[in-house]
Amino acid sequence: MITNDKKIHNLLLYWLTCSLMLVFIIIIVGGLTRLTNSGLSITEWELFKGILPPVSQSSWEFYFNEYKLIPQYKLINQNMSLAEFKIIFYWEYIHRNLARLIGLFFLIPLIFFYFSKKIDKYYIKNCGIIFFLIVLQGIIGWYMVQSGLVNDVTVSHFRLSIHLTFAFIIISALFWLIINIRNKQNKKFFNITKQNLPFAVLIIIIFFQIILGAFVSGLDAGRIYQTWPLMGSTYFPNDILLKNFNNLMNFNNHSLVQFYHRNLAYLMTFYILILGLYIFLKNLKNLFYPFKLLLSLLLIQIFLGIFTLISDLNIYLASAHQINSVILVFSAINLYYFRTK
């Protein structure tokens, strides 16, 4: 017969797993919201008011008229009909309500587990940190949306990258905690040692690539050069004038951002191959399968990235590229976990 303690422990694991799945879904929906240029369709935060969608013609006209006041409508979507507006509205509406659901789904059980006093304090503490990040993520989301309501036709790619990075931090923290609970361990993520440092560096590289990917998405930089392996007819884009070092730090330059995103992918591939060589030369058998999984997902990610580019940014391929990036992060964390003591 299962004891109450074991039941609560299992409930904790199921709750965290469901939370991870919800965050995974909202990352997918968030990506599609960006790809369909729907993120500015709701121009107010509406923390509570916007839970229910518009049901009357007057409500729809109110939201549409509010949208008509921002630059995106005035400069790009002047010919948009109400029916077309409803499509982009629902993408953002679903995204926001998923965020609300995640917040409540995480908070209510967290209170229960905290007062039950039957869960390891290390786990509860980490859950508290994750909830704080979820709340902060909601604030960052609105901070991002505000950047596209006054002077620009889209949100700031810098703010978009912060929003996406925090989503990856949240889902990574959930994944790490779930692995710990399943293995009945209390491994600390930031317990960096000489032994696991190369594996931690890999995660850092992947996160930098995620940031650059957000820059590419936010700037629509993938539309500048849609050829591979060259950018047009050259390796380095020939539309960039390098007068000084500051030009290399211009992350508003569409061509340069795409160039960095491509080349960090090459660097990451090379680094992973070197890491694999190290694993096999050292005969680290417990890392053989995690590394093979990582390498397989990396190859999939590379192919998805290339075909997304040359397909004129096909929305399904672009979404699959983002989805696989989450799974790639999981595989890198999994490899790091089994190298950490």
| Domain assignment of residue 211, given as a range | 187-341
Are 101 and 198 within one domain? no
Are 191 and 125 within one domain? no
| Domain end (from 186, 215, 232) | 186
Structure tokens at 238: 């020939």
Are 193 and 180 within one domain? no
Q: Is the pLDDT of residue 244 over 80?
A: no
Are 170 and 108 within one domain? yes
- 261-267 average pLDDT score: 97
- 217-245 average pLDDT score: 90
- Mean pLDDT taken over the chain: 93
Portion of the chain with pLDDT greater than 90, in percent: 84
- 192-216 average pLDDT score: 96
Are 194 and 167 within one domain? no
Structure tokens at 335: 């490899």
Q: How many residues does the chain have?
A: 341
The three-state secondary structure class of 96 is: helix
Residue 308 near residue 271, CB atoms below 8 Å? no
Contacts with 333 (C-beta within 8 Å, 6 or more apart), sequence order: 172, 175, 176, 179, 203
Question: DSSP characters for 247-283?
Answer: GGG-TT-HHHHHHHHHHHHHHHHHHHHHHHHHHHHTT
Question: DSSP characters for 129-184?
Answer: HHHHHHHHHHHHHHHHHHTTSSS-SS--HHHHHHHHHHHHHHHHHHHHHHHHHHTT
Are 18 and 136 within one domain? yes
- How far out from the chain centre does Cα 92 lie? 16
Place of tokens 């109110």: 62
Residue 290 near residue 334, CB atoms below 8 Å? yes
Place 4 in a pLDDT band, splitting at 50, 70 and 90: low
Are 77 and 194 within one domain? no
Are 166 and 62 within one domain? yes
Residue 135 near residue 48, CB atoms below 8 Å? no
The number of folded domains in the chain is: 2
| Domain end (from 186, 220, 251) | 186
pLDDT of residue 1: 36
Structure tokens at 331: 């595989």
pLDDT of residue 341: 81
Predicted TM-score (pTM) of this structure:
0.94
Structure tokens at 180: 């710990």
Residues 142-150: contacts with CB under 8 Å, at least 24 apart: 142/45, 144/39, 145/39, 145/40, 145/42, 145/43, 145/45, 148/39, 148/40, 148/70, 148/71, 148/72, 149/40, 149/43, 149/70, 149/71, 150/70, 150/71
pLDDT of residue 119: 87
Place 33 in a pLDDT band, splitting at 50, 70 and 90: very high
pLDDT of residue 3: 54
Structure tokens at 302: 């590379």
pLDDT, one tens digit per residue, over 88-115 is 999 999 999 999 999 999 999 999 999 9
Residue 206 near residue 172, CB atoms below 8 Å? no
Contacts with 5 (C-beta within 8 Å, 6 or more apart), sequence order: 118
- The Cα–Cα gap between 89 and 168 comes to 25
Are 90 and 113 within one domain? yes
Phi and psi, residue 190, nearest 5°: -90, 20
pLDDT, one tens digit per residue, over 65-88 is 999 999 999 999 999 999 999 999
